[in-house]
Chain A
Amino acid sequence: QKEVEQNSGPLSVPEGAIASLNCTYSDRGSQSFFWYRQYSGKSPELIMFIYSNGDKEDGRFTAQLNKASQYVSLLIRDSQPSDSATYLCAVLLRSARQLTFGSGTQLTVLP
């Protein structure tokens, strides 16, 4: 069983729509959760981090965390073509230090 799983892509949404990216994790001791955006050939760029259950909003992005269900998601409202990228979910178990990544979901926003 993979430690961090993301919904299989690729995912295509029309411009202006809401893109929903999902991630589940297996280690209940995980404490910190991150969403990174990675454009082709570039390095991962931090979009959001979330530590507590509930929603966290930053502009067009909303991260949602449900520790009981071991589930974290990222919503992108009013999607733009510039949002087209691979989105990596990452989970941190602080005692282990290792940031564990999901395999990524490739998002395409169609003009």
Chain B
Amino acid sequence: DTEVTQTPKHLVMGMTNKKSLKCEQHMGHRAMYWYKQKAKKPPELMFVYSYEKLSINESVPSRFSPECPNSSLLNLHLHALQPEDSALYLCASSQEPPGATDTQYFGPGTRLTVL
């Protein structure tokens, strides 16, 4: 089973709203990732969690706040977003530490629209 699930599938929010994106995997992976993808562009890495600890933050604005409550769950809390933050938000997971198999498996994504 190589399934990563994400909720919600679609989200529309105003610039003053607070919302959260959720991601879950049951592959026993201990590395989890958030990516942002704009139309016709490749995914851009936002955050990496390793063993539930934030290991990489790619200079993402503080209006995006990640959280890893346990080894299977990853959240992305959103607050005071801008219209330019509208994008497809992708969660991924992989084995940790990376070794013979370091493939990242992506969830279906959350399509976010900020009005």
Which A residues have a C-beta under 8 Å from some C-beta of B? Answer: 32, 34, 36, 41-46, 49, 88, 92, 94, 97-99, 101-104
Contacts and interface: CB of A to CB of B under 8 A. Distances in A.
Contacts, number: 51
B103 to A, nearest CB: 5
Interface stretch (B14-22, B40-48, B76-84): B40-48
19 contacts: A34-B103, A41-B88, A42-B108, A43-B107, A43-B108, A43-B109, A44-B90, A45-B106, A46-B103, A46-B105, A88-B42, A97-B55, A97-B56, A97-B98, A99-B33, A99-B104, A101-B42, A104-B40, A104-B42
Interface of B: 2, 31, 33, 40-43, 45, 48, 50, 55-56, 88, 90, 98, 102-109, 111
